[in-house]
A and B are shown apart, each in its own frame.
Chain A
Amino acid sequence: MSLDIEILYPRALSDRSLSGQDASSFTELVERLQRFVRRPNPFSLDDRFATLEGLSDRLLQGEDRTYPGLAFLAAFLRSAHLKHLLQREIPNLAAIDRFVATEDRKSLFIAPRGVVTHWIAGNVPLLGMFSWALSALLGNANVLRMSSRQDPMLVQLIDQLADLSDCGQSMAERTVVVRCDRDDEAAHRSLSECADARVAWGGKEAVEAIRALPARWDCEDIVLGPRVSLAVVDPALITDKIVTRLATDIAYFDQLACSSPQCIFVKSADDASVEKFVQAFVPAFERQSRAIARHTLDFAETYQISLDRTRVLVEGGELWRDQQTQWTVAVVPELHREIVCANRFVQIVPFREFDEVCRQIPQNIQTIITLLNADDTNSFTTAAALCGVCRFPRPGEGNNFEIPWDGIALASRLTRWITRSDPPTENST
Chain B
Amino acid sequence: MFLKDTAPFSLPLAEKTAYLDAALSGLVEHHRRHCAAYARIAYDWRSSKGAHETTVNACPFLPVSLFKQYDLKSTDEETTVLNSSATTSSVASRIYADKATKKRQALSANKILADFVGQEKRDYIVFDLEETVRGGAGLGARAAAILSLAHMAREFHFVMREVGGQLVVDHDALGRAMESIGDRPFIAYGFTYILYQAHRELRQSGFDAGAAHPDSRFLHSGGWKKVLSLAVDKPTFNHEIASLWDLAPSAVIDFYGVIEQTGVPYPDCSAGFKHAPYWADVIIRKNDSLEIAEAGQTGLIQLLNCLPLSAPNHSVLTEDLGRIELDDGCSCGRRGKAFTFQGRAPRSETRGCSDVARY
List A residues at the B interface (Cβ < 8 Å).
121-124, 127, 201-204, 206, 224, 226-229, 253-258, 260, 262, 295-304, 306-307, 309-311, 313-314, 316, 319, 321-325, 338, 340-342, 362, 364
Contact = CB atoms under 8 A, between A and B. Distances in A.
A32 B334 CA distance: 71
A258 B353 contact: yes
12 contacts: A201-B353, A227-B355, A256-B353, A257-B354, A258-B352, A258-B354, A299-B299, A299-B345, A302-B300, A309-B44, A316-B40, A324-B290
> Among B41, B44, B72, B354, which residue has the most Cβ atoms of chain A within 10 A?
B354
Contacts of A338: 69, 357
B349 A298 contact: yes
B352 A257 contact: yes
A313 B351 contact: no
B65 interface: yes
B65 A253 contact: no
A222 to B, nearest CB: 14
Given A201-B353, A228-B355, A302-B286, 15 more contacts: A121-B352, A202-B353, A204-B355, A227-B354, A228-B354, A229-B354, A255-B354, A256-B353, A299-B287, A300-B345, A306-B61, A313-B37, A314-B37, A314-B70, A340-B359
Contact of A314 (B66, B355, B358, B359): B66
Nearest to A307: B63
A49 to B, nearest CB: 27
Contact of B48 (A226, A253, A254, A323): A323
Given A253-B352, A310-B62, A313-B41, A300 B347 contact: yes
Interface string B31-55: 0000001001100100011000000
Contacts of A256: 351-354, 356
Nearest to B291: A324
Contacts of A202: 350, 353
Contacts of B346: 298-300
B96 to A, nearest CB: 15
B330 to A, nearest CB: 26
B353 A226 contact: yes
Nearest to B286: A302
A261 to B, nearest CB: 10
Contact of A324 (B66, B289, B350): B289
Nearest to A337: B357
Nearest to A297: B288
Contact of A257 (B49, B300, B353): B353
Given A296-B288, A321-B48, A310 B354 contact: no
B347 A227 contact: no
Interface of B: 37, 40-41, 44, 48-49, 61-63, 65-66, 69-70, 72, 285-291, 299-300, 317, 319, 321, 345-359
B287 A302 contact: yes
B353 A301 contact: no
Contacts of B347: 300
A297 B356 contact: no
A342 B321 CA distance: 22
Contacts of B356: 256, 340-342
A33 to B, nearest CB: 26
A201 B354 CA distance: 10
A260 B40 CA distance: 29
Contacts of A226: 353-355
B349 A313 contact: no
Contact of A123 (B49, B299, B319, B352): B352
The 5 closest A-B pairs by CB, nearest first: A256-B352, A226-B355, A299-B345, A307-B63, A324-B289
A303 B44 CA distance: 17
Contact of B317 (A229, A306, A322, A342): A306
Given A300-B359, A302-B290, A311-B69, A295 B351 contact: yes
A253 to B, nearest CB: 6
Contacts of B48: 321-323
> Among B48, B291, B321, which residue has the most Cβ atoms of chain A within 10 A?
B48
Contact of A124 (B62, B65, B352, B357): B352
Contacts of A257: 352-354
A300 B348 CA distance: 6
Contact of B66 (A124, A260, A310): A310
Contact of A302 (B41, B49, B288): B288
A338 B61 CA distance: 20
Contacts of A203: 350, 353, 355
A341 B317 CA distance: 20
A198 to B, nearest CB: 16
Contacts of B354: 226-229, 255-258, 260, 262, 342
Contacts of A340: 356-357, 359
A122 B348 CA distance: 12
A179 to B, nearest CB: 17
Given A303-B300, A310-B63, A314-B70, A325 B288 contact: yes
A262 B354 CA distance: 10
A325 B285 CA distance: 12
Contacts of B349: 122-123, 298
B358 to A, nearest CB: 8
Contacts of A364: 355
A188 B358 CA distance: 24
B353 A307 contact: no
A219 B62 CA distance: 51
A316 B289 CA distance: 24
A81 B49 CA distance: 48
Contacts of B40: 313-314, 316
B319 to A, nearest CB: 6
Given A296-B288, A298-B346, A298-B348, A310 B355 contact: no
A224 B354 CA distance: 10
Given A301-B348, A303-B319, A227 B287 contact: no
Nearest to A342: B356
Contacts of B285: 302
A359 B273 CA distance: 54
B142 to A, nearest CB: 25
A251 B192 CA distance: 44
B289 A303 contact: no
